[in-house]
Every structure is written in structure tokens, then in C-alpha cells.
Structure 1
Amino acid sequence: MSRIAFIGLGRMGSGMAGRLLAAGHEVVVTNRTPQRAQPLLDQGALWAPTPAEAVTDAVAVFAMLSDDAASRAVWEGPGGVLAGQLEPGTFAIECSTLSPARVRELSAAATAAGMRYLDCPVTGLPEAAASGSLTLLVGAEDADLELARPLLKPLASDLFHFGPVGSGTAYKLIVNLIGAVQIAGVAEGLAMAERAGLDPAQVATALALGQAASPQVVRNSQRMVAGDHDSNLAFSGRLRQKDTAYAIALAHELGIGVPFGQVALDGLDELLAEGWGELNESAIIEVARRRPSQD
């Protein structure tokens, strides 16, 4: 089996690193908060103090990070991946959801360092990361992806290769923009239902059985009714806001208007301004409940 460096041990990254360990790989982990690594160290992972040290002798470097700033710090900052002793042809597998501009920047830097770059964001919640049932959204050269497939297999039940580097991120931002619009819509609908005197729990049940149902609508409507925004964090409002902003930036690059997406982003901006960004994204209903009519 292979030696793999894994950087970023949040809810998603920890599960993914665990899957690589379970597949028999030697996994070297590093994280800004060392305490997060302990469960993986207990399973046999190795610890490295910095990304540069983690990548020594690795055939692949996986990263699962929160945003562009975290990606720059990990890859190009002091003690970053690109400052390490990289073997020619080492895979750079960036699973974070980044902006298109950052993907272009990072793929150029990694390629210049002799790495094979895979744009590989994922869809799926932390439970899917831990069970190896994520969906991988890949942008890469055909030959690079074929060589990397054995490393990716423990992580996912599905893999979509959308084309060259950047195409995986483009799809991820598109689908997350759709999700943001759906979540904003269900928040407004439930707020209306409450004002109309309907039973919110019954409304959520009916939504799950009707034409408006989607995994986003079903999951978030149930959480909105339960009001458990601060427990069992699945996807935070801050991350949804970041992904939506990156998606709108992509739309601007493509010269297409996304007014529904902008409305969703406005609501998420308000969510963050109220200090609710670290709660589940379902907390957007609190914004919908407070908004007055525009009449």
C-alpha cells in the first residue's frame, strides 16, 4: 500500500483519512488543531507537525480545507506542501471547495513543482465521508485520474469526471448554488406556513412526500422545524455562504446572471451578520422569520 499525506481533519477530512487508513495505506496527517488528529493516531495514522513534513515520501497529498485562505496557507505558506520534499509525479488531490481562481492558481503552482493535480471536490455529509460513500467530482487529465483511481476508491461510491482541472469545482459550485436556493426557498415557505397557522411538522412531512422534495429540502425542513441548528453540525451557514459566493463569482466569470443565487447569498450574509454562521445552515429560517413584507 501507499504512503499518503492528509491535510485538514475537520468533520469531512477525518472521515476520509480514516477510510484511507482502513484501506491499508500509511497515512500521515497534519492539522492546524493537533487534538483533532488523536482518533486517527489511535487507529495507526502518523503525525507530522507541518504539511511540508507530512509530504515526505508520499505518493499523494490530499487536502480537505475550508476555503481559499486555508488552501493558500497549507500549500504555499511557510511549512506548506510545496516547501516539502516532493517526489516527481506526486498527486496533489485537492478535495476542498475552492474558488475557480484559486483552483487555477494552485494547479499551476503544483504542476510547476512536478505534481499531478486533481481537482476533486466532493458531495456528501460527514457520515458519507466516514463510510466511504462520498461522490467525487473530478477535474483532471485522463491519465492522471486513471493512475489515481486506486487511491480514490476507498472514499467514494461514485466518481464523475467532468473534464480538465477546474471542471470538478465548476460542477461543485453549481450544485451548491442550487442547494442554497433550495434552502432559502424552504426557509421562506416554512416561515409563511407558520404565519398562516399551519402545523410546521405536518408541512415538513408533506414537503418530503411532494414534488418540491429534494435531499436538501427534506433534511433542512426537518431541522428547521426541530430548531436544532446548534447540534449535530452537518454543514454550517458560513460554509454555505462561502460556496454560494464562490459560485456567484464563477457565474460572473461566465457572463451569466444568477439573481436567485444572489437572493440566497443575501440571506446567508444576513445569517452571518447575526452571528449564526457556525450553526447548521438550517438556521437561515431565523432570517426568513424576521423579514418584513416588501409591500
Structure 2
Amino acid sequence: MRKIALLGLGKMGQGIALSILRSGANLTVWNRSIEKAGPVLDAGAKWADTPAKAAENADFVIAMLSDDTASATVWLGENGALQSIKPGAFVIECSTLSLDYVQKLSEAAIAKGLVYIDCPVTGIPSAAAEGKLTLLAGAEKHQLEACLPVLQSFSKSIKHFGAIGRGTCYKLMINLMGAVQIAALAEGIALCEKLGLDTETVIESIETSAAASPQVIRYTRRMAEKKFLQDPSFTTTLRHKDALYALALAKDAGFAAKLGTVATQWFAEAGQHYKNMDEAIVIDIIKAGNE
């Protein structure tokens, strides 16, 4: 039986854990607070007090964390997973991180005789729990193939972009596109409101328009009716973080991401005023700038 460790039990991590458990794997989990582990432990996972203890004897160690700082603490810090993980094991980093940090972490893992899989994901928490995420992989092909049974337990599709870091490059690009799209949607809805257009007609028209996408459909009614989620799957803070990582990536490539820069500024302001709230609330920042 495959021995798997999962580090991080936020909404996405919990969903991934439940999908892994359904595959019959032996799963040990760690999180900063044990309170979030309840559903996963009830489903059969074992608890570890530190990342290092979780990683002991694991064949595959998966992380789903918030940012570079959290990942560095969990992998590289005191009681970090790299302190105990056995040579030849797989480090599968599913968090959305900066490219510079991914390169640093992968080098540290490889130096310890580990296999590093750059594997950010796309999808919402319900998709994680249903085993329907899309994985954006950066790894050697034969190494990726070796861990497919684990990855397929929580995904419906695996896109291989090339070497380590290539999955992260794509993930940052698509999340920056998401920031631009959400900001553009918010601006359009705010303009319609300013013009006095009927809210329900606007919602129905946007959702059936050529500009509609799953993301647009998910956010249109929430923005137009001001029904922001109290427990959102993606927050202003996370969107701003991802956008900043993407802009740094673009800058290093000598690329001027002008639309992304404007959207990032709006999410920076949203993060200041509405920290860790539903990212759809960026519409209030746009409205405030047009009063």
C-alpha cells in the first residue's frame, strides 16, 4: 500500500485528502491546527504533530499551502518535511508559489536524493473532494509517470508542461488571467449599475454571452446582487498574492503585463480593505473609484 503524507488542510487540502483516502492509500496528514483535520481523520487518515513526522517513511509527500513563506516553513524549516523524508521519495508541491521559490525548493529536494514534482492545480474545493482537479505538472516525464496513480486519485486531468517550474509558470499566467477577467467583470457590472440597467437582465445577459466562462458565471450574480461568500474558496488576499508572483515572473521574462498590473493594483486595494474576503468584493473597490 502506498504511504502518502499530505501537508496543509485548507479547503483544497481537505478535498485532496478525502480523494486520496477513497483510493485506499495509507495517508498521514499535518496542518497547523488539528481542528481542520476532523473530517479527514474521521475518514481514516492518521495525524502527525509536525511536517517532519508526517513525512517519515512516506513514499509521496504532497503539500497544499498558501504561499512561499508557508511552504518554506513546512518543507525547509525546523521540523520541516525535508528533515525526515527518505531518499527516493516524491516531493509533490501543489501550492501556487513563485517560480524563484519553486526553483529553490526543488534544488533542496533533489540535493537530498528526492524526486520533485512541480504540480500546482486548478479547480475549486468541491472538485478536489470529488477527485476532479486539473494538475499542471512540471517534471521529468518518467518521474511524473511514476507517481500517476497518486496524482490520478485527486484529478481528472494532468497537463505536462515540461521541466520543473513549467507547471508553475502556466499556473501563475492563468491566475493572472483570472485576476484580469474578474476585474473586467466587476468593472462591467459596476458600469451597468451606474447606468441604471436592470440587475437581473444584466446577470442573465452576461451569463449567456460570448464573454461568459465558468469563472464569469460563478461571479456574475454574486457581484451584481452583492451576495459575497462568507467562507470563500478564493480570497482577495490569495488573488493578490498569485498576481504578484505572476507579475514577478513576467518581469523576469522581460514582458510588460499591463492589464495584469492594473488588475493586481485593484486586488491589492481589495486586500487592504477586505483582507481574506471573497475576491468578488473587488467590485466595491471599482465602484468607490467611480463615485
TM-score bracket, shorter-length normalisation: over 0.9
Query: Which secondary structure does the structure 1 equivalent of 2:242 belong to?
Result: helix
Aligned to 2:138: 139
Residues 33-112 of structure 1 mapped to structure 2, 5 A cutoff: 33-84=33-84, 86-112=85-111
Aligned to 1:168: 167
Q: Which runs of 5+ in 2 are unaligned?
A: none
Offset at 1:232?
A: 4.2
CA distance in 2, matches of 1:226, 1:102: 39
What amino acid sits opposite 2:128 in the alignment?
A
Query: Which secondary structure does the structure 2 equivalent of 1:98 belong to?
Result: coil
Runs of 4+ in 1 over 4 A off after TM superposition: none
Paired residue for 2:275, among 274, 277, 281? 277
What amino acid sits opposite 2:280 in the alignment?
S
Query: Which secondary structure does the structure 2 equivalent of 1:163 belong to?
Result: coil
Aligned to 1:246: 245
CA distance in 1, matches of 2:148, 2:229: 37
- Tell me the TM-score normalized by structure 2: 0.98
Matched, 1:17 2:17: yes
| Paired positions, count | 291
Can you list the C-alpha shifts for 1:197-219, whole angstroms capped at 9, x where unaligned? Answer: 01223212101111111112111
CA distance in 2, matches of 1:247, 1:217: 21
What amino acid sits opposite 1:289 in the alignment?
K
Can you list the C-alpha shifts for 1:24-44, whole angstroms capped at 9, x where unaligned? Answer: 001000000111111111111
Aligned to 1:128: 127
CA distance in 2, matches of 1:136, 1:207: 29
Pairwise CA RMSD: 1.0
Q: Which runs of 5+ in 1 are unaligned?
A: none
What amino acid sits opposite 1:206 in the alignment?
S
CA distance in 1, matches of 2:284, 2:153: 39
What amino acid sits opposite 1:217 in the alignment?
V
Aligned to 1:2: 2
Deviates more, 1:56-65 or 1:204-213: 204-213
Offset at 1:113?
A: 1.1
